[in-house]
Structure 1
Amino acid sequence: SGNKNNRFKLIILRKGRGLAGTVMKTGKRMIIANVGLALGPEEKIDYPILLSESLTAVLAVPLWYKNQVYGVLLFGQRDGRPLPKIFDNDDIQRKFGIFNDDK
């Protein structure tokens, strides 16, 4: 749980780039159930948080406020563990309520 190191602090958030930036730009959640299968080595470079935190599965959810993405909530797993089954579409809608405008 938590971060592995402080390298994540060096990651610059830019709208449209990286995991959180892509979610901010598109306004859509991003689920990568198996990073190793879904992304090749070159693609992983585009998502530095995956590398710096050794994430093997990830869910990024846009947090909406007044019809715009205000932030991104990131959940990740390491060591090949899958994301918990509680992260299905209905459960995400219930848990994030007003912050989740499923567009």
Structure 2
Amino acid sequence: MFDPELDHLPPEARWREWMNRVEATIFAASEPVGRETLVRQAGIAEQTYYHWRKAATPVSDSDDLKDLVALEDENKRLKSLLAERLRKENAELKKKLGLAQ
């Protein structure tokens, strides 16, 4: 996995250098060179390139945040509906048992 020229580095530095190379490979793809040439120059499989690119591409936080807020609002609404229904059911049971005050 690692380049033999990185063997002299301590493990943490080796990993950091490897990730720097990965990022450099991914961002070089924006250059007009072409994906095939880039993959060949980096000495990696095309699938590896796509895997790296997917891992390095930031996720759209605004869409996820909007979805999360919408789900939280729906959750609050459903909880309040359930609580109201349980209060009514509890009151009816108390009336039937003669425990109502």
The structure with the larger Rg is 2
Q: Which has more helix, going by share of residues?
A: 2
Task: Indicate whether the TM-score tops 0.5.
Answer: no
What's the TM-score, normalizing by structure 1?
0.24
TM-score of the pair, normalised by structure 2: 0.25
Answer 1 or 2: higher relative contact order, Cα 8 Å, separation at least 6: 1
